[in-house]
Amino acid sequence: MMNIRVEKLKQTAGGRLILDDISLDFAAGAVNVILGPNGAGKTTLLRLLGQFDAPRSGEIYYDGGASSRLPRSGRTALRRRIGFVFQTPLLLAGTVEANLLYGPRLRGRSVSGAEIGQTLELTGLKGRELQDARQLSGGEKQRLQLARVMLLNPDLYLLDEPTANLDPISVKNIETMILRLAGSGKTVILATHNLIQARLLAGRAVFLKAGRLVQAGSAAEVLSRPLSLDIAEFSAAENIISGTLARRKERTVLVCGELVIEVVSERSQGAAAAVIRPEDILVSKKPISSSARNSFRGAIVAVTDLGLVTSLSVDCGGILFTVFITRISCAQMNLAPGIDVSLTFKATSVHLLPLG
Amino acid sequence: MHYGGKKKNKMEYILDGLKQGLALLFPPNREILQIVILSLAVSGGATVLAATTAIPSALFLALKEFRGKRFLVGVVNTTLSVPAVLIGLLVYGLVSRRGPLGTLGLLFTPGAMILAQALLAFPIITALVLAALKGIARDSRDLALSLGANRLQLALAVIHQGRFAFLTALIAGFSRVIGETGMTLMIGGNIKGHTRVLTTAISLETMKGNFEIGIALGIVLLLAALTINIVLQWAQGK
What are the structural domain ranges in chain A? 4-230, 239-354
Question: Could you tell me if B151 lies within 8 Å of chain A, comparing CB atoms?
Answer: yes
Question: Could you tell me if B37 lies within 8 Å of chain A, comparing CB atoms?
Answer: no
CB-CB contact of A269 with A292 (8 Å)? no
Element (H, E) at B30: helix B30-63
* pLDDT at residue A321 greater than cutoff 60: yes
Query: Does pTM top 0.90 for this prediction?
Result: no
- Cα distance between residue A261 and residue A253, in whole Å: 5
A86·B148 Cβ contact <8 A: no
- Answer whether residue B16 is part of any domain: no
Residues 146-175 of A with CB under 8 A from B: 148-149, 152
Closest partner CB to A103 (pick from B139, B147, B151): B147
The residues facing A270 across adjacent strands are A245
Query: Nearest C-alpha of chain B: how many angstroms from A318?
Result: 53
Q: Look up the CATH number of domain A4-230.
A: 3.40.50.300
- The pLDDT assigned to B8 comes to 60
**B80 to A271, B84, B99, B118, B178: CA distances (angstroms):** 61, 10, 25, 13, 16
User: Could you tell me what percent of chain A has a pLDDT over 70?
Assistant: 98
Instruction: Give the contacts of B102 (CB within 8 A, at least 6 positions apart).
Output: B95, B96
- The pLDDT assigned to B44 comes to 93
Instruction: Give the contacts of A252 (CB within 8 A, at least 6 positions apart).
Output: A245, A246, A262, A263, A264, A265, A267, A268
Residues 38-57 of A with CB under 8 A from B: 50-53
A106·B139 Cβ contact <8 A: no
Task: Examine domains A4-230 and A239-354 and report if their fold is the same.
Answer: no
Closest partner CB to A92 (pick from B143, B149, B153): B143
* pLDDT at residue A248 greater than cutoff 70: yes
Q: Is the peptide bond before A55 cis (omega within 30 degrees of 0)?
A: no
The rounded Cα B122 to chain-centroid distance in angstroms is: 10
- Per-residue pLDDT tens over the stretch B22-47: 887 788 888 888 998 999 999 999 99
Question: Could you tell me if A80 lies within 8 Å of chain B, comparing CB atoms?
Answer: yes
A59, A65, A68, A70 alpha-carbon torsion, rounded to 10°: -170
Task: Using DSSP, state whether A256 is helix, strand or coil.
Answer: strand
Question: Could you tell me if A142 lies within 8 Å of chain B, comparing CB atoms?
Answer: no
- The pLDDT assigned to A235 comes to 67
Q: On the CB side of A145, how many CA atoms lie within 13 Å of its CA? A: 28
A72·B144 Cβ contact <8 A: no
- The pLDDT assigned to B234 comes to 82
- CATH number of the domain within which B118 lies: 1.10.3720.10
CATH classification of A239-354, choosing from 2.40.50.100, 1.10.167.10, 3.40.309.10, 3.40.640.10? 2.40.50.100
A152·B147 Cβ contact <8 A: yes
> Sorting pLDDT into bands at 50, 70 and 90, what band is A198?
confident
Contacts of B158 in chain A (CB under 8 A): none
> Sorting pLDDT into bands at 50, 70 and 90, what band is A148?
very high
Range of the domain at B188: 29-197
CB-CB contact of A188 with A32 (8 Å)? yes
pLDDT truncated to tens, each residue of chain B (238 aa)?
Answer: 555 445 567 788 888 888 888 887 788 888 888 998 999 999 999 999 999 999 989 988 887 778 888 899 999 989 998 999 999 999 999 998 888 888 888 899 999 999 999 999 999 999 999 988 887 888 888 999 999 998 889 888 888 888 888 888 998 899 899 989 999 999 999 998 899 999 999 999 889 988 888 888 888 888 887 888 788 778 776 6
Per DSSP, the residues of A196-214 read: HHHHHH-SEEEEEETTEEE
**Which ipTM value was assigned to this complex?**
0.72
Question: Could you tell me if B145 lies within 8 Å of chain A, comparing CB atoms?
Answer: yes
Which burial class, exposed, middle or buried, applies to A284 when counting CB atoms under 10 A from its CB (0-12, 13-18, 19+)? middle
- Answer whether residue B13 is part of any domain: no
Instruction: List the single residue in B with minimal CA-CA distance to A151.
Output: B147
- The pLDDT assigned to B158 comes to 87
> Average pLDDT, stretch A128-154?
91
Question: Could you tell me if A103 lies within 8 Å of chain B, comparing CB atoms?
Answer: yes
DSSP code for A184 = T
- Per-residue pLDDT tens over the stretch A53-99: 899 999 999 999 999 889 988 999 999 999 999 998 999 989 999 99
- The pLDDT assigned to B91 comes to 93
Q: On the CB side of B81, how many CA atoms lie within 13 Å of its CA? A: 4
Query: Nearest C-alpha of chain B: how many angstroms from A71?
Result: 12
Question: Could you tell me if A61 lies within 8 Å of chain B, comparing CB atoms?
Answer: no
B148·A79 Cβ contact <8 A: yes
- The pLDDT assigned to B4 comes to 47
Q: How many folded domains does chain B comprise?
A: 1
- The pLDDT assigned to A238 comes to 75
Query: Regarding predicted confidence, which is higher, A343 or A122?
Result: A343
State chain A's mean pLDDT as an integer: 88
* pLDDT at residue A137 greater than cutoff 80: yes
- The pLDDT assigned to B108 comes to 92
Handedness of CA A37, A41, A45, A50 (dihedral sign): positive
Residues 64-83 of B with CB under 8 A from A: 65
Contacts of A103 in chain B (CB under 8 A): 147-148
B147·A76 Cβ contact <8 A: no
The residues facing A194 across adjacent strands are none
- The pLDDT assigned to B7 comes to 54
Question: Could you tell me if B63 lies within 8 Å of chain A, comparing CB atoms?
Answer: no
- The pLDDT assigned to A19 comes to 94
Question: Could you tell me if B153 lies within 8 Å of chain A, comparing CB atoms?
Answer: yes
> Average pLDDT, stretch A297-317?
86
